Structure 1
Amino acid sequence: MYAIIRTGGKQYRVHEGDILNVEKLDAQEGSTIEISEVLAISDDGNNLKVGTPLLEGARVEAEVLKHGKGKKIIVYKYKPKKNYRRKYGHRQPYTQIRITKIIG
């Protein structure tokens, strides 16, 4: 069984037991969260339920494992012949979750 969920402006295909990094969520480590933005649910057969855009009553429960920051990316701005150079880095924060149950 899998579900397609939306969190942090992105969509993920998840199975029970999956571990994934999503945009940072406001939840404590070790707590359980409920994701109610479920776009589609399918059992392993050929039964697929698709919402318009969301499925009513469907939800996904997940456990928050940890919070962290991603790899550093370097942003470099440059304008030729103007002596303009700017270099800075960015590390995107994330929340690592484990999918525990798909209800739908």
Structure 2
Amino acid sequence: MAGVSLYSSPSFSVLCLAQKQKLHFSVSGDHQNVPFLSRSLASLRLNSSANPLPVCQPFVTRFSDSGSSVAESEPDSSVIKSELQSETLVSEPVKQEPKREELFAVVMVGSRQYIVFPGRFIYTQRLKGANVKDKIILNKVLLVGSKTSTWIGKPVVTNAAVHAVVEDQLLDDKVIVFKYKKKKHYRRKIGHRQPITRLRILSIAGYEDYPAVALSDIEPIK
């Protein structure tokens, strides 16, 4: 049997023409319902002056504005005055007093020897019968020395004396005395404070007539 082609038949071509005309009528009808499609693009213009957009004012200040306002504030007047006073003050030269001759002595109080300097104080054993602010003289001067010369006593420096004043009669720091005996259950813990006297050295005098020994007179040890 010979096959029949639908595309070559006259009925198929008529059907296609009818569908094209129907589609054309439907599109033209839609263009009439929508008016803005019929207008050209050139006729559409944007009018910015008709409805201008409102401009919002910023309600938060910028950091630069706040910083500049702080920087432009005037400085405190008290600070300026203090700076001016510090600049005007001129350091006055300090007058250095001449140093006194450094002198020292070795004295014996009781059974102990002490090195004393004028203006300083020492602690000695309790001096019986001495009251506060009493002036005393220490006669047992074993040696007197300065930067250049030395007066050595044999055994004491003749006519030399150390003048002092009693500042206080007090007790020394506590010393713990502990006693123990083994196998006897014997334990003793005792605290002892030795009474002492505080002396302020005033001056050293009376040694000038005693023969002195200079450093140049001492022969070096070979």
- What is the rounded CA distance, in whole Å, between the counterparts of 2:109 and 2:166 in structure 1? 14
Match of 2:146 among 43, 46, 60: 43
Q: Which runs of 5+ in 1 are unaligned?
A: none
For normalisation by structure 1, the TM-score amounts to: 0.93
**Aligned position for 2:105:** 3
Matched, 1:56 2:132: no
Tell me how far apart the structure 1 counterparts of residues 179 and 134 of structure 2 sit (CA, whole Å).
41
Give me the whole-angstrom Cα distance separating, in 1, the residues matched to 2:152 and 2:120.
21
Whole-angstrom distance in 2 between the partners of 1:11 and 1:44: 21
Q: Percent identity?
A: 37
Indicate whether 1:72 and 2:195 are aligned: no
Offset of 1:68 from its aligned partner? 0.2
Alignment match, 1:34? 137
> Displacement of 1:91 after TM fit?
0.3
Quote how far apart the aligned CAs of 1:44 are.
2.2
| Aligned-residue offset at 1:50 | 1.1
Instruction: Give the structure, 1 or 2, with the largest relative contact order (CA under 8 Å, sep 6 or more).
Output: 1
Instruction: Say whether residues 1:83 and 2:171 are aligned partners.
Output: no
Larger % of strand: which? 1
Question: How far apart, CA to CA, are the structure 2 residues paired with 1:24 and 1:10?
Answer: 12
Deviation of 1:28 (Å)? 1.2
The structure with more radius of gyration:
2
Considering fraction of residues, name the structure with more helix.
2
Deviations 1:47-95 (A, max 9, x none): 1111122111111000110100011111001111121222211100111
Structure 2 residue runs of 5 or longer lacking an equivalent are 1-102, 208-222
User: C-alpha root-mean-square deviation of aligned residues, in Å?
Assistant: 1.0
Amino acid at match of 1:37: K
